[in-house]
Each structure stands twice: as C-alpha cells, then as structure tokens.
Structure 1
Amino acid sequence: MKNLSIFQKLLFSHLFIGICTLLLVAYLFYHSSKDALIERTVAQLSSINHLKKIYIEDYFEGMQQSTQLLARNSPLLELTVAPQASRDTAATNRMFSLLQQEFAYQDLILLDTSLHLLYQQTQSFQFPADTSAKFTEIRQLVTNTLANSHPGEILVDGEYLLFTSAPVKNASGQTTGILLMRLPDGPMEYVLHLRDGIGQTGESYVVGADFRMRSHSRFFPEAAPHDMEVRTLATQNAFTNQTTDHILADYRGVPVLSAYQPLQIPGLPWVIISEIDLEEAMQPVFRMRTIMVGIGLGVCVVIALLTWFVSVPLSARIRELRQVVLQLSRGIWPKEPLIITSKDEIGQMKGAMNQLILGLQRTAAFASEIGNGQLASTYEPLSNEDYMGNALLQMREKLQSSQQRELILNRQRTSALLEGEENERRRISRELHDGIGQLLTAIQFKLNTLDGQEKVRSEIKAILEETIVEVRRISHNLMPSVLQDFGLEAALKSLCTRTAQASRLKVNFSFDTHPDSPPLSQEVSISLYRITQESIHNAVKYAQATQLDIIVDCEPDQVQLRIRDNGIGFDWEAYQQRTTHETHGIGNMRERTYLLGGTFGLNTRAGAGTTITVSVPQ
C-alpha cells in the first residue's frame, strides 16, 4: 500500500466491496454459460464429424468393390495376355472411357505380374514404365491391397495419390495382371467442405499417419495437402483414440473447439477432424462479458467521481511543488534536493524534479567543458526532446568539424614543408656534387702537379680525398641519385649495403613485388626511403642492435614496409608518459606515413627489440 498513490488508496478502499461482489457474480455466470455453450458446440461438431466419417468410409468401400468388379472385365484380361502389337489402341481407349464414366475413377493403370506398365488410361500422372525406381512403394501397395483388399496411397512428386487394386485372373484362376485404379479426391473434398452447422470458421479435414493433410485446407486453399503439417494435439489424440480436451490449438496456432476420430478404412491410417474457432463459438458469452464489463466500468466511474471530492487535500502538497518550479523558472537551483517522503504522485514529481535539477547541472557543466575546448567530453541528453542538450551536442560536432578542418590544414602545411625540404635537399645535393665536389676534384688534380715536400703533399691529398668522400656521402644522403634513377628497391639495397659497411650491423634486405602491383610513385618512394633512413639511424645510434631486417611487400592495393632490429628496445608506454610529444625522428616517420594516407605502427619493449610497420595505399 505504501507504493500506491493517494488517489489509488482512496479509490481501492471504495471499490473493494462493490467490485468483489460484481466479480464473483460475473465469474460464476460467465463460466457456467461458457461450459454449457462449449458442451453444445462440441456435441454438434462430433455429430458432423461422425456423418462425414461414415460417408468417406462408404466411398472407399464402394470404390474398392468397383475395382474388384472391373478387374473381372474380359477386355482387361485380354490386355494382360495379348501381345502389344495386336492391340487396337483407339478401341481400347473408347472402351475404357465408357468404364471411366460408369465407375467414376480418375485414372486406370494395368500392370503385368512383374509390375511393368501395360496400359495407363488418362496419364493423370507420370507412371514409370519400369517400376524399379519406385518398386518398393508399388510392391508394398499391391501386396497390401491384394492380400487384404485394402486401398492404398503413394507419394508422387509431393502429392498423395489414392489407389484401389485387384488382381486380373484368367479362367483357370491364374493371376495375369494387376489393376490399379486411381481415385479422385473430389468426392471426399466435397463432403469435407460442406459448411452446414460449422459456422464461418468451421472446417473438416483428413490427416494421415505422417501428420500431413490428405485434403485441402479452407484457410490455405492454394497449398498442397502434403505441404500442410498438422502435428497438433487433436491429431495425436485421434491416432491414439484418446480424448483429453476439446479446446485445442489447430495447425494455424488458433484456439479452436475440436472433434476428432480415426477413419475405419483398412490400409489408410487416417483421422478426420472437425473444428471451429473458439472465438466464433464463444461469441454469445463474449457479448455477455462485454455487457458485464460495461456495467462494472460504470460503477467504477461513479465511485471514482465520489473519490475525487476526497482528493482536495492533495492541493496543499501541490502548492509546495509550485514554489520550487517558480524558482527554477528564474534559473535558481534549490540548495538541497527535495525530500521524498512518499511514493505517490507527489513523491514521483519530487523525484522527477531532482532528476531535472541534476540534468540541468550536467548540461551547464558540459557547456563549460566545451567552452574550455574539451570536445571529447561525453554527454547524454535528458531525452530525445531535450532541445538544450541536443543544441550543445550539435555545437560540439561543429567545433569538432572545425578542429578536423584545422588538422587537415596543418597536415597540408606539413606536407608542403616536407616537399620543400625534399626540394632543398635536391638543391643542396646538386650544389655539393656540381659545385664543391668539382672544386675539390680540381684541387686534387692541381695538387698532383705540385713537386716537392712529398710528405706534406701526401697528407694534404689524404685529407682532400677524405673530404671528397664525405661530401659525396652527404650529397648521397640528401638525395641519392640511385632513388631517382633506379627506384626504391635499388636505393634501399644501396642504403643497406652502405649501412652494413659503415657499422657492425648485419642487414637483411627483402623486396617482393606482386605481378599486378603498379609502379611506385615518386612521393611514396621518397617517403619510404626517408622512413627507412631514419629507422636505420635510430637502430645504429640507440638500439645497440647486431641485426636489422628490412622487408618491403608491394601488393596491388598497398605497400608494406617492416623494419625490425634485435636491439635493446625500450618501454614505449613509459616513454610516452615521460614525454609530452614524440621525438623529431618518430614524429617525422609518423607524419610522412599519415600524409600518404597510411598507417604507422611501432612495437617495442625493453630487451625485445623494435619493429616499425608502415602500410600505405597504392
């Protein structure tokens, strides 16, 4: 009772006696009427079900007798013993057309004793000339029907075909052939679909032992009977001769009243079921229930109106909330949360007011964080209609977009700077090679022409040669000509060779190119070369490595560069915590990779070496 509102408490106390009395009378009256109506409807369904059962059983018995009578017809005996060539096909067809009109079958099939087809009248289905493919089914049908004079069925192409059969015997009583007569399903369908006494939703149908229909459903007339599975409690009870309940769910899952029993047709383990929707059968009771519900609602409305006059004292507590709302309308937040003393409507309103105040405080804090540039702050609006919160989220998105545009501009500026740096490297390399290099070579030639002071001249010559080598090395590092002339593979191979010669590193180099991979652009080649150059520098200077592996894989859609050493490595997370920005070398490699639209990865830990992975699109 503590969780109920004041109005509910008053209402329930006034309604309790009246509603309890009304419910008790309604319950007794409703269930007595319902049980009587169900009993009468089930008795009517059972009667209809029994009449249709008798008709279907008589129909199959009559058709079996007709088949036995037809098997004694002399033209059939002649077909089983006469050679194929001696038949008059036209006369035979005319004769069997008359027999079909008399005996009302759908198709007539004549087999020899080896179950080979001798004659089929209407070709209503494709009967195999050689029955070896269906020999087991046909043999079982013929054996059962001949031994016991029973009808049978065969499943052909998803359709159950009904047959009666009889042996064709000569004058001496010897079996010379076998007659199969296919029965039409029209007479049985006609009887089952008669709607007298079963209302608008009533239905009768036949189910086989495989729990599939043998007649068409009135609710799914286009569906083949074999496609309709009826694994309901009604079919199970009918096959086991049990009666548990008449209110069941049919094959549609709809509650129905059901009457069922097995058909006494030898050779055909079928059951016949008659059903009507429970909703239709119970319409009189439902109408009475609706009337009683209306009366009950009327009583409740009268009592509710009386209760309303008792609820006037609630207005005093509402005035208390009004004062808080007025303060919020002026932007003044209560210093303390509202105290909730009950769980009725007033208590719930106080709880909602506390949530609103907290939500406004979160919104103000979020706006302050955005103003301070903390665009990664998270915020959840109070609801989908929270206009203020959604406006702040839109403002954050616009600021993030502006920040993203600024980042793109910074990258463009960085790309321009790197491009200018490469151009300056080319210019300085040319100046060193074409200017200073040639001057130093000229000095070397001039020095060779001087006579005297051989020792001094040799020392100067050695220093000059060392200077020429150093100038060439600087020029090559600034912009190796082999990169421009022969491409990335030759440049990296030259870089690895020079690194191995100038240090104690063992450098392993691998460059694999897919046949469908396009040629590398100058921009990609220069960037990958600079990244490799920087990585080798770090490995030689800091890693204390003895082996360096450089692997390049050129695929049709991307180029991947992997550089790993067996050096001392370092703690990458600790390094990032100690420094607020990356070193120039690592930052330069990462920036070059991002400018190409690729991904940069660095994997290292203390004592386990370092691996740098760069992937850029082609």
Structure 2
Amino acid sequence: MPRPKIRLWMSIWMSLLSVVLVTVLSVFFYRAFQTALNERVLLQLTSVKRLKKVQIEAYLNRIWEDFTNEPVDGPNPNSFVIDADQLDTLGRNAGLAFQSPVAGIYDLTPYSDSGALSLLLIRPLDSLQYAVRRHPGAAIQRILLERTGMGESGESYLVGRDYHLRSLSRFFPEQAPYSFRAETEGVKQALAGKQGTGIFPDYRGVMVYSSYQPIQFKHLNWVILSEMDVEEVQAPLLELKRQLVAIVIFVLLLAILISYFMARAFSKPILRMRSHLHDMAAGNYDITISPGKGPKELGALFTALGDLKASIKGAIHFSQQIGQMELSADFEPLGDNDKLGHSLLKMREQLIRYHQLQEQNNLANQKSFLNGQEKERSRLAKELHDGLGPLLTSLKLSIQSTDLPAPRKTQLKQLLDEMIVEVRRMTYDLMPQALLDFGVGKAVVHLTEMVRKSSKLNVHYVNSMKDDDPAGLDTETHINLFRIIQELLNNTLKHAQAENVRLSLTQFDDKVALYYQDDGKGFKLDEVQYGYGLKNIKERVKVFNGYLSIHADEHGTEVEVEIPIKDE
C-alpha cells in the first residue's frame, strides 16, 4: 500500500490539530457556560424560594396572631368554640392526630372535598373549651403563584409529608392540588430536614432545576420548592451548542484550506531537499543547493545539506587523489566524529608507508644491482689486468726473442702494444685502480687527462675532495660519483659537440657537490628522450638519496649533483 504524500499528511494532521483544539476549547467553554448557568439559575431559584418561604411564614404568623387576639364571639364566621369531646370527634372525622400542646395550625388539605389548601387553627380557651377556625389557603396560593424571575416554566409549590401537593399546579390549575403526588428527590431531602438544590424530575416527570427547603410552623410540616424546566433554562445552551458545532465545522474547513496552502509551502522545500538527496545518493554531487525562501529552520537544513554535500565531495576528491597516488594532497576531517574523513587519512598514511617501503625496496634493489655491477666490473678488470695483461707482455718478449724478419717483428710488436693499451683502457673503464686506492678526486684527474689525450675536449677540473680522509666517504659513494662523471663526459663527447668542460668536486661535512658545465649545443628538457646515460645518472643519484638539477639551452648544459655523506 503506497504511503500518503507529505502534503496530505500535513493537511490531515494540521486539520486534526485545529479541530481537536477548537473542539476542546468549545467543550471547555460550553462546560464553563453550563456550570455558570446552572449556578446562576439555582441561585435565582434559591432566592425566590427563600422569599416565598419568608412571605408564607409571615402570613402564617399574622393569621395566628389575629386568631389568638380575636375575641371568641368575634365577627369571623369560620371561628367557633368546641369542648374537648367535640375536639376529639373533629380529629377522628378529619383524620388529625392533635399533638400536645394542641394549640397550633393544622393542615386540612388531605380532608378537603375540593383538594384545595385548607388550614385549621386551634387554641385552648380553658381546660374544657377550644377556639377553632377553618382558614382557606388562597393567600398562600397567591404568594406561590407570583412567578417574577422564574421564566415561562418556573413555579413554586408546597408538598406535605404524604408527598401530595398542597398548592395549585400552574400547569394543571383546574385539578385539585392533592391529586398530584410529588415523591421527588428534593421533597425527600427536605422532609429529612435538609435544604439544597439539584436537577431531577419533578412531579410531572419533567427534568427541572429545583431549590427545596422544609417549612415547619406550629404543627405544619411542609416542603417548599421553586423550580424551572431544564428545557427552558438550557435553551441558550442548545443554541450555543449549535453555534459551537457551526464554528467547529467552519474552523475545520478553514483549517483544511489553510493547511493545504501551508503544506504546499512547507512541502516544496522538503521535496526539493529529497530531490537533492536522491541526486547525492546516485553519486551526483555537482548540484547547487540554495536555501531559497521559507522559514529560517528550513534554510538551516539546506545549509547543513550543502555542508554535507561539500564534505562528501571533498572526501571523494581526496579519495580520487590518493587513488592516483597524490599522497601529498591536503584534507581536513570535519571533526572527531568524521569517521569517513579519518578513515581516508588512515588510508593515505597506509599508502604513504607502503609507497615509502616500496621506494626503499626499489632503491635497495637498484643499489644492490649497481653494487653487483661494480663488483662484476672489478672482477673483470682484475682478470684483464692479472690474466690477459701478463700474457700479452710475455707474448711481446717472446716475439722479441724469435728469429723473425725485422719488419715482421716490428709489425707484431706494434700490434701487441696496441692490444696492451686497449686492455689497460678497458681495465680502467671497468674499475680504475686509482679510484680504489686514492678516491674519486684523484681518479677523476686521471680520467680528465685520458679525455684530453683521446679527444679535442678541454676539461677544466677543480678537485676539492678530502681524499686524504678515506673515512669521510664510503667506497660506494666514490664509485657512484666517478660513474656519474664518466656518464656526463661520455654524453658530452657523443652529443654536445662541445669544446670546453668545467668540472668540480667539492666535499662538505654533510655532502659532496658535483658541478658540471659544457659549452655544447644543449638540448630541450621537455623534448629529449632520456637515454641510458641520463637515466643511469638519475638512478644513481636517487639510489644515494641525492639531488640532481639539469639545465640545458643553446649555450650548453649545466648539471648539479649533491650526494649526502652517510653519518657513520
């Protein structure tokens, strides 16, 4: 299953976040408003209930005082005098249980034919007679029907201990109050002597806000309740709920729209960064990474990506350099955690060590080859000098003692003399004895003399060697310097067409310097193909860790060689 694109993800999450945030705020606001409304309504009902309770108690107190202060033979037709037996009969007929003291106000509503509120007032006149008055509850009913501040559904009513209404229901004014039973939570709490507020069904089964409190006055035991329908009270809440739902829907649509454009704005640089990463993963580091427009944090990401690209590109370039054996290339790791950079440096160190070891082995092999070559030359020179030389000399003496014609003898002697000279020259070329006996300085003197005799080349030689100090240079260095001079003179004789050569050997404490200059036709260094002579010179200088400089033009050739003296 394909994953959703980043734009869709961002749109979904931003929309969900907006909806959740608005929903939470709406629920919080709704709950707060509901709590405040509940508290305000219940407080209002409590105030109304208290006012009516006070009014009812004041009215009861006033009629009681009028009753107690009124003469027995007063004008009230509902007042009369009875004896104790008649009082008992009245109580049995009305179903009243008169309490002691008998004086007080009694509720006759349960025994009223109409079911309307009716009161009975009794006070003793003496031990045998009682004043009795039957009093209607119309005034109390008017107090309860006053509905100021109670809305359209508010009402206040009285309930007796038998859970029947004592006052008219404003919803059913044509029916007798006593016909309604109100065994509600508020009535139960009030009959238990408690007062309070709550939300519960009333005697109609309708949910109401209710404030309840008991009324106890001179044998009366009622409950007064002030209530309002939940539906009316919460009508603003329902309207608020509809408005909040509409706001949530509007915010959802707005969030989807805004999140879509924001997702586009944020996803463009991210997609561009993904494209750059794909290019880099494919090995293309010749890309241009620019932060572009957008938040500072995204710009910092593009800057970091550019740094990463530059770092990888630098590492690749460095690896290419060391792959081409450019081991002196500079490279600096980004830090201690740059494992790639440190690995490349270790690789370069290993290659340097391997290259150095290879160079050392090559130099040792070349040096061994040169030493073997010189030993072979020395052996051949010795065999020519000690073997063929004496034989030629003996042959010459034999010819002198033979009985041959004088011209023939002279011819043979000349031929043998030439052979002896050639053998000596070959012996000298292979290994001059002077080189072994007196060192390179003196051996080159003899070499230059031979060159002057055998050619028209004028060699000016300056010898500054310490040949009297044989411990200063080893035999290999003497032989190496002599062979280099031999090659230089040989190249001049073969190719330079020179007339003059300036040659000097100078021994210092740490090196021997060779300077050679001829006035020949020279050559171009970038065009000349190195022959055996120049190649041999370069190899000899390299084997002895020396320095070689060759400068050539139409005025001649100049060569400088420096061979370090070994520190024994």
Give the TM-score of the pair, scaled to structure 1: 0.44
* TM-score, with structure 2 as normaliser: 0.47
